[in-house]
Structures are given as structure tokens and as C-alpha cells.
Amino acid sequence: MRVILLSVIIILGLSAACGGNADEAEITVDSTATAQPDTAQIEEMQHTSPQDAITGAYGLIDDARSAVDQENERTRELEQMMGDN
């Protein structure tokens, strides 16, 4: 009997602490906000040296420059096709 009474008191206490009845509470969950990174991602973030970050930034700059060059070449080809030299 004491176990049942203690269980009911604990459940009521937890229910009150969590905001009451679960049917009344509206909880929206954003899957991107609750996703936990895996251990490899955490270790990668913690062990990135400044030199690695700089090298990565230069790599991104080179990729962007390459994409811009490709787009400029396409624009030139389209202008030639349309006769707008």
C-alpha cells in the first residue's frame, strides 16, 4: 500500500513539475534542433587547428573562384550565341 501511495505521489509531483496534463501541453519538436552530433563530429570540431581552418578557407575561396570562372565562361558563350559581343 505504501509503495502504491508513494508511486502516485511521485507521478503527481512529476506531472505538476512538467506542466500538468500531457494532453493540454502543446510541444513542438524541431528535429534539427534536437539532433545530437555524433562523437566523430564533436572530436572533429575540438581538434581543428587554426592552420587547418585557414587551409579550408583557402580551399573554399578556390572553389568559389572556379565556380565564378565557369559562370563567366557560360555567360560569354551565351553572349556569343546571341550576337552580343
Could you give the residue ranges of the DSSP H alpha helices within the chain?
2-17, 31-34, 39-46, 50-82
pLDDT digits (tens, 9 = 90+) for 41-84: 665 556 668 888 889 899 999 999 999 999 999 999 999 999 86
Q: Is the pTM of this model over 0.95?
A: no
Q: What is the pLDDT of residues 9-40, one digit of tens each?
A: 888 777 777 665 555 445 555 555 556 666 66
Tell me the domain boundaries of the chain: 49-85
For the record, the C-alpha cell of 64 comes out as: 568559389
CA–CA distances in Å: residue 27 to residues 24, 32, 36: 10, 15, 19
